[in-house]
Amino acid sequence: MTSRLYPNIIITGTPGCGKTSHCESLVESLNDELRSHFQHLEISKVARERGCIDGFDQERDSSIVDEDKLVDSLEPDLREGGKIIDWHCCDVFPERLIDLVVVVKCDNSVLFDRLSQRGYPDSKITENIDCEIMQVILQEAKDSYAPEIVIELSSEDLETMDDNVERIIQWINSWRENNPDGASNELD
């Protein structure tokens, strides 16, 4: 039986809600504060680097990820623990290897401005705003993981992001206290 000494956390949400900023700030803070080896896995980049791209969706202007190949490639990393997963979907990752799912949400007017600044076409902005309004990613997380490991956090500005990062660090400290020998990577 193998175990991981640090938790794996997914930070997910609609594009533009602040996933990557949260992940980068969290990993920097964790590695400074805990002297640990947390790693930010920006899944879009990881998928390209590991040859997990299966095509390109012209209409959505995005790569199509071979999710099975991606998860197979990531399993050894996740078994190590200490991974902060950054992706707009979360249901592909094995529940036994995930300890916390953070769904980052954002006010629609703020999200609109962020996506516009990125140069997204109107159709992509509308699709992402609709996704946020309908809470698609939050529902996906709730359908895929135990309710006690799914939390939602608002992300409108740097102050709320800093508060969110501090809250996640407190959760990690509690997780480590409750799991001094680590958490099992195996099915219960």
52-108 tens-digit pLDDT: 999 988 887 788 899 999 999 999 999 999 999 999 989 999 999 999 999 999 999
Q: What is the pLDDT of residues 163-175, one digit of tens each?
A: 999 999 999 999 9
CA-CA distance, 10 to 103, in Å (whole number)? 8
Token readout for 16 is 């533009």
Q: What is the pLDDT of residues 97-141, one digit of tens each?
A: 999 999 999 999 999 999 999 999 999 999 999 999 999 999 999
73 labelled as ligand-binding?
Answer: no
Token readout for 174 is 């509690």
Q: What is the pLDDT of residues 140-166, one digit of tens each?
A: 999 999 999 999 999 999 999 999 999
Residue carrying the six token digits 């990531």: 74
Per-residue DSSP letter, 140: H
Fill in the amino acid letter for 65. Answer: V
* 89, 138 Cβ separation under 8 angstroms: no
* 162, 29 Cβ separation under 8 angstroms: no
Checking if the pLDDT of 37 tops 60, the result is yes
* 104, 153 Cβ separation under 8 angstroms: yes
Average pLDDT value for the chain: 93
Domains of the chain: 3-44+81-169 (3.40.50.300)
* 17, 105 Cβ separation under 8 angstroms: yes
18 labelled as ligand-binding?
Answer: yes
Q: In 3D, which of 9, 15, 58 has the Cα closest to residue 38?
A: 9
63 labelled as ligand-binding?
Answer: no
Per-residue DSSP letter, 106: -
